[in-house]
Chain A
Amino acid sequence: MKHLDETQQVVWPRGKKNLTVTPLAKRLESLEGKVIGELWDDLFRGDEIFPILEEELAKRIPGVSFVNYEVFGSTHGDEEHQVLASLPEKLKRHNVDAVISGMAC
């Protein structure tokens, strides 16, 4: 057993990250005429928030349209894994150009 004033060499207690930094999707030049998909985790008033966002975005951006969160299913809860796995195909099928995902609270 070492004395408290003796020096000791110690290692790092964390773990290696299991990923590399992934580039984000390219942003759109404009939202005009684009299709925005909505993803919701069924929490924190998304059912009130998305209609307000739709209304306000439509006022500001000509031709923008929306695909409702019900099309994709809840992104949290017991169906999360299936819902996330199905997203790429559903986004393609509904010609979604961009996504608003909520709610982190």
Chain B
Amino acid sequence: MLRASSVVELAGVPTASLTCEGFLGQAATTSSGLGMPNLPVAKVPGHVDVQTAEELRENLVKVTVDAVIQNLTVNPSAAKPIVEPEAHDIVFEGTFEEINRLFYENEWSDGLPIVPPTVERIQEFLDYCERDADEELGALLPDNRMATIWNVAVNGVMAGCRPEYMPILVALAEAMADETYGVEHSGNTPGADTLITLNGPLIKQLGFNFEQGALRDGFLPNTSVGRFWRLYLRNVAGFLPHKTDKGTFGNTWRVVLAENEDVLEKIGWEPTSADNGFQRGQNAVTISRYTGGGVIASVFGNKPEQMVEYLSDALTKITGWELIFTVGMATGTYRPLLVLSPILAETIAKAGWSKADLRNALFEQARMPAWKFEKYVGQWSNLNPGHRTLVDFVNMGKAPKVFAESKDPERMVPIVCKPEDFVISVAGDPLRTNAYVFAHNGMLGFPTSKEVKLPGDWDNMLKAARER
């Protein structure tokens, strides 16, 4: 909404931005990232979604209308640029404890101790990257700060990564800066968090855990790279709780999910990165933002037909308001993730099923009544203006025909637009019959993959790193 206001101001037209009371702080910091720290906003008291029509009217008439008039007719004080350090500047000298206190007080750390980013440590990371330290990788909203090789290394040091993880960290920063992903939405109120999926030989070369406890902390590469992501979001994109990060609850950053590529190769399934054009054997990271997840325990059956009903049920149950990304706000951008343990994937593949076969079966069975779909997006939540029905959306050309095969509210409709929208990964305890499902945040964190580019002398560098 403020992005729209900034475009209008640039066009020479004054704006008033309607902002609920709880978002005034976020508006101030977001405006700063748009280069307009003095952009005026008109307060709307409380939150509109819990107000009666009368309460809403009273609040608007008594508070908001005056603010709108003022926003449009009174020139705000001129904004002054803020002077900040240069990238390579030494900003402090102190002990480990003093440095950590400073970083915490300035909101540069996540509350856990950080490894002090000294020039010497940063250089160790830069040695694993054949690119200029000041190379720019893209600007990141909401702060509109420039991602660079240098600040990737700085935050990698802080997160406790090893220098040889640097190629992965650079790929992640590039993915974060990719418009497809939509990093600017990372502070939205549902508080979703990113899952990084890693594919390629790097999984074994760097010792990523891809078996039992695949999503648990306790493995240096999985854990520290996951922490890097959140620190980079904080320090370079600028997402700070109580300011630009408005996750109502939020959750801790996720550790990296590394796929079990031995099993994938054995059963002839493509890795997750293949969804975005990568080949088996290529090193690639995939980022996607998930609103939540849940385990599906003890999947029973020796044939895929016996398993699909349970897996489909889990995918349907975990999907609620997110359906606005299937049909409505951003049609066709809902990409839920199903992580199968190796034994489940092997059993499904043993019957001759490909990933595409599994996706087709999930598309047919992961369904819910149309009335329930419509309630999620337009009645239980307020995400569908005008309470349009699925039939309305199809008639408007904004949803596939499968959502309007009849007008019967009891008809079963899919939770995604097409079978390919299901993302399927394989990891976890090889011999346990469990799976995991993640609900997805649609276009507000769309699956985005980047190649991990290694330096030319990678094999020798890796050998040296192991001997260090």
Contacts and interface: CB of A to CB of B under 8 A. Distances in A.
A84 to B, nearest CB: 5
Contact of B95 (A6, A43, A98): A6
Given A7-B94, A11-B90, A98-B14, A105 B144 contact: no
A11 B88 contact: yes
Interface string B101-115: 001000010000000
Given A11-B117, A21-B37, A16 B146 contact: yes
B49 A11 contact: no
The SS class assigned to the B binding surface is mixed
Nearest to A24: B9
B249 interface: no
A12 B95 contact: no
B26 A104 contact: yes
A22 B35 contact: yes
B8 A60 contact: no
A52 B18 contact: no
B39 A24 contact: yes
A30 B73 contact: yes
A55 to B, nearest CB: 9
B318 to A, nearest CB: 22
B331 interface: yes
Interface centre among A5, A12, A17, A61 (most CB of B within 10 A): A12
Contact of B14 (A6, A28, A47, A84): A28
Interface string B7-46: 1111111111111101100110000011111111110100
Nearest to B90: A9
B380 to A, nearest CB: 15
Interface in B43-83: 44, 47-49, 53, 56-57, 60-61, 64-65, 68-69, 71-76, 78-81
Given A53-B60, A53-B64, A84-B7, A10 B117 contact: yes
Contacts of B148: 15-16
The SS class assigned to the A binding surface is loop
B8 A8 contact: no
Contacts of B41: 104
Bin the interface of chain A by size. Answer: 35 or more
B151 A14 contact: yes
A12 B87 contact: yes
A99 interface: yes
Contacts of B328: 77
B443 interface: yes
A103 B44 contact: yes
B242 to A, nearest CB: 16
B329 interface: yes
Interface in A1-57: 2, 4-31, 36-37, 39, 41-49, 52-53, 56-57
Given A12-B87, A15-B140, A15-B145, A48 B56 contact: yes
Interface string A87-105: 1100110001111111111
A22 B49 CA distance: 33
A25 to B, nearest CB: 5
Given A12-B87, A28-B73, A45 B13 contact: no
Contact of B84 (A17, A44, A101): A17
B1 A75 contact: yes
B235 A104 contact: no
Contacts of B49: 44-45, 105
B4 A84 contact: yes
Contacts of A99: 5, 8, 13-16
A75 B118 CA distance: 43
B7 A13 contact: no
A11 B16 CA distance: 39
Contact of B36 (A18, A22, A39): A22
A100 B13 contact: no
A56 to B, nearest CB: 5
A84 B11 CA distance: 11
A9 B88 CA distance: 11
A103 B33 CA distance: 19
Contacts of A103: 1, 18-20, 44, 48
Contacts of A22: 6, 9-10, 35-36
Interface of B: 1-20, 22-23, 26-27, 33-42, 44, 47-49, 53, 56-57, 60-61, 64-65, 68-69, 71-76, 78-81, 84-99, 103, 108, 116-119, 122, 139-140, 143-148, 151, 154-155, 158, 231, 235-236, 328-331, 333, 382-383, 385-386, 443
7 contacts: A10-B99, A18-B139, A25-B15, A49-B60, A101-B17, A104-B1, A104-B26
Which 7 pairs from chain A and chain B are nearest by CB?
A102-B18, A15-B145, A18-B139, A78-B330, A105-B20, A75-B4, A19-B35
